[in-house]
Amino acid sequence: MKVSSISKQQVPVDKKTIAREWFVQGCRYDNLEPDSDRAIEAYRKSIKFDNKSTDAYVNLGFIYLKRGRHHDALKCFEKVVGLEPNNPENYNNLGYVYERMELIGSAKQMYDQVLEIDPDNIEAMLNIAQVMESEGNYHGAIQQYRKTIEADPHAAASHFCLAVLYDRHDMFDEAIQEYQNALIENPDYLKALFNLGTIYVQLGDYPRAVIFFERVLKLEPDNAEAWNTLGSIYEEIKVYDKSVAAFERSVSINPLREETHLNLARIEYLEYYSAPDSSKKEKLSRRLNFILSVNPHNKKAQKLIEELTGTYLKQA
């Protein structure tokens, strides 16, 4: 008779082998059924048969973290640190849990512990810089990012994180330079491409912005936000056919994207009033009503439909 359950083996099998089989099942459930509890159950059974299985503790900890069960995650990662006290990655993970619990001091202690074990650990150095940022220590964060870049000039993530910090403070020249440095190390760094394109939009350099968003879309053709931004750029420079095509591609990917529907409605409104016809009016009306069905308080959509129908929509 065939036995389906791992725990009901009919031949003697050592506990570590059974633990590993449950771990593999946990990984499978984690990938195929991420919202179910089956992965949690499998990892727990793996730990039951081998309570020194660090891989099971780590995966279980990240599931708990994803679900906001921070104290359960903390127990898992603390267990891993106890089992492998000389592995710097374990302290990085534990520090991340403390950050999620808003225990910033404890998080920094963990990252400092990483650097005691591995002084050139880039991840820990970046984590410390980000902790400084969260504490409002702007100058300290910049110095820490620069220190990280000195430790490994080819780490694209270090250049990117420093660029984001400059970007947040509207230091666009410095941000552009660091995004470009990140792209030298990794030409397909999607977030760097996206952020650079956004800066050029803010600076009014639309041709250059188009180049970067086209690179984003070459790497990720179904990026609805990038299509929407590209549509806005084309609208700004009055290339309406490309603008409409980009907006329509965005809503084909995400049909409920309110902002993009409103962008399309704005162009359709201009088209209708430049050459009124009943089919255009009906199409525009349908879109505006859809936007208001998604968000009844969208004032821009309310204003357009009032202008289209000549009717004042009373605020709820």
Q: Flag residues of the chain having pLDDT under 70.
A: 1-13, 311-316
Q: What is the structure's pLDDT at 12?
A: 52
Report H helices in 84-202: 88-100, 104-117, 122-134, 138-151, 156-168, 172-185, 190-202
Q: Is residue 97 classed exposed, middle or buried when 0-12, 13-18 and 19+ CB atoms within 10 A define those classes? A: buried
Residues in the chain: 316
Measure the CA–CA gap between 302 and 315, rounded to whole angstroms. 9
Q: What is the structure's pLDDT at 310?
A: 75
Tokens representing 243 are 């603008």
CA atoms within 13 A on the CB side of 108: 12
Measure the CA–CA gap between 227 and 229, rounded to whole angstroms. 5
- What pLDDT, in 10s, does the model give residues 144-202? 999 999 999 999 999 999 999 999 999 999 999 999 999 999 999 999 999 999 999 99
For the chain, the structural domain boundaries read 244-316
Q: What is the structure's pLDDT at 312?
A: 43
Measure the CA–CA gap between 266 and 286, rounded to whole angstroms. 13
Measure the CA–CA gap between 245 and 248, rounded to whole angstroms. 5
Domain 244-316 belongs to what architecture?
A: Alpha Horseshoe (1.25)
